[in-house]
C-alpha cells in the first residue's frame, strides 16, 4: 500500500464512522479552520454553476438573539405547539456552541430545476458535516416549519425567493468515541444486470 492509499484509507475509515450528534460543547471551529470546513461545502455538485450555498454563522452572544427570532418564528408558524415543546426547541439554539444557517440562494426561473439547486445545497451541507468530523468536531442538521417563516429568513439575509434548508448545530462531541451502528450496504445497493428491475433488500424487508 502506498503512502497516498494509506492516507486515503484513513480518511475513508473516518467518514465511515461519522454520525450526527447534538451532545456538543466547545471549542468550535474558528478562523482558517472554519473557513476550510465551510469551503468544503463549495465543492458540492453544482449543475449550472449557480453557487446556491449561503452559510450564516452564529456564535457567542448572537445565539441569544437568534433564539429569540426562532421563538418568534415558531409562534407565527406553529401557534398551537405546546409551550414546553416551543421552549425545548428554542433552548437548543441558546445552548449549542455554534450554529450555521444553511441558506439556499435560488433561481426559480433558471433552466436548472429548483430540485437540483436544493440538492446542491444539501450536498454542500453534507460536505460541511464530513469536514467537521475530519477536523475533530461534530454536528447535526435540524429544521422545522419555522425555517419557512419569511420574516425570520429576512434576518438571515434570505429575501424572496431564497430559502433556508435548516441549521447545523456545531461543536466538539461530548462522546467522541461513540459510533452508531452503520446499516449494511448490501441492503441499500443493487447491481442491475441489463434487464428487469433492480431490487433492494432494504425495501423487501419492509414488505
- 144-154 residue pLDDT tens: 999 999 999 99
**Predicted local confidence at residue 179, as pLDDT:** 77
The reported pLDDT for the residue numbered 61 is: 96
CA distances from 69 to 63, 66, 73, 146, 149 (A): 10, 5, 6, 10, 10
24 has which bridge partners?
173
Supply the pLDDT for residue 146: 97
The CA-atom distances, in angstroms, between 63 and each of 91, 95, 99, 113, 179 are 10, 8, 8, 34, 29
- For helices 31-41 and 114-134, angle between their N-to-C axes, nearest 10 degrees: 140
> What are φ and ψ of residue 71, in 5° steps?
-60, -45
pLDDT of residue 144: 96
Check residue 198 and give its pLDDT. Answer: 92
Q: What is the pTM of this model?
A: 0.92
pLDDT along the chain (207 residues), means of 10: 70 90 96 98 97 98 97 97 95 97 98 98 98 96 97 97 98 87 92 92 77
- The 10s digit of each residue's pLDDT in 80-119 is 999 999 999 999 999 999 999 999 999 999 999 999 999 9
Domains delineated in the chain? 19-204 (3.40.109.10)
**Residue 6's pLDDT is what?**
66
From CA 121, how far away is CA 44, in angstroms rounded? 8
Q: Give pLDDT, residue 197.
A: 92
Amino acid at each position: 500500500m502506498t503512502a497516498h492509499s494509506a492516507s486515503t484509507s484513513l480518511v475513508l475509515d473516518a467518514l465511515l464512522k461519522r454520525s450526527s450528534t447534538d451532545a456538543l460543547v466547545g471549542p468550535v471551529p474558528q478562523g482558517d479552520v472554519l473557513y476550510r470546513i465551510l469551503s468544503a461545502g463549495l465543492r458540492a455538485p453544482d449543475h449550472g454553476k449557480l453557487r446556491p450555498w449561503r452559510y450564516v454563522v452564529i456564535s457567542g452572544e448572537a445565539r441569544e438573539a437568534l433564539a429569540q427570532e426562532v421563538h418568534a418564528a415558531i409562534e407565527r408558524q406553529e401557534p398551537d405547539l405546546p409551550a414546553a415543546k416551543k421552549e425545548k426547541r428554542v433552548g437548543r439554539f441558546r445552548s449549542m456552541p455554534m450554529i450555521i444557517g444553511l441558506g439556499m440562494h435560488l433561481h426559480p426561473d433558471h433552466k436548472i430545476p429548483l430540485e437540483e439547486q436544493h440538492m446542491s445545497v444539501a450536498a454542500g451541507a453534507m460536505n460541511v458535516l464530513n469536514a467537521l468530523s475530519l477536523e475533530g468536531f461534530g454536528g447535526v442538521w435540524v429544521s422545522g416549519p419555522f425555517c419557512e417563516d419569511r420574516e425570520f429568513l429576512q434576518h438571515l439575509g434570505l429575501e424572496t425567493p431564497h430559502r433556508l434548508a435548516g441549521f447545523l448545530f456545531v461543536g466538539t462531541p461530548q462522546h467522541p468515541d461513540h459510533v452508531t451502528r452503520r446499516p449494511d450496504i448490501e441492503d441499500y445497493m443493487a447491481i442491475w444486470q441489463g434487464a428487469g428491475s433492480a431490487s433492494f433488500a432494504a425495501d423487501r424487508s419492509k414488505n
